[in-house]
Structure 1
């Protein structure tokens, strides 16, 4: 992975561009306090026409319903603007939460960033 001199957007989020996608790498414990800090950056990345966004969950330690709301928010905003959203997740408990809530059907998680950047867009589907 190339060196990215861009500092983290917050303690919980690093934002970078890779292969034409905005990558939002969530880090640490994603709870309501983290979500409050992440939302402005998430909205900036998902609010433009035809945005191409990847949310990377590989570096999270904890993910609660606030994290799920972030994913639903991102998906909704991307769909409203004709873009695409992809998800990277490898943590077994987070994968289980995504499956139980049905979100994994809407945003099929990729096992790596390379896989997410190479897969077809995941922007359709309904619960």
Structure 2
């Protein structure tokens, strides 16, 4: 599917279409998707937020780190997990304090992804 169509689906589609578009934009590898994906981090649908967060990591959108750090406080554990993983993919050193806090998250999946991301960031600095 064409990049612009995916961006349009992300902005205007049904929940399922927005979620799928967020995921496919990550696989596109295009940094042109970064701004629409950051906007999708505030979508009312947790699946959209989760897929958008992970996709930002996939495309290497380092400028999205602050938005992803804020997402570590989301109500949904899968959104927090995706944000943690994306921050690791981005090797976002600024996220280390927030990821350290996420190691105490009530959700095991968030804790594991925060720990993994901290290892990835640490390996990058070595």
Q: What TM-score bracket applies, with the shorter chain setting the length?
A: 0.3 to 0.5
Q: TM-score, normalised by structure 2?
A: 0.41
Larger relative helix fraction: 2
Q: TM-score, normalised by structure 1?
A: 0.40
Larger relative strand fraction: 1
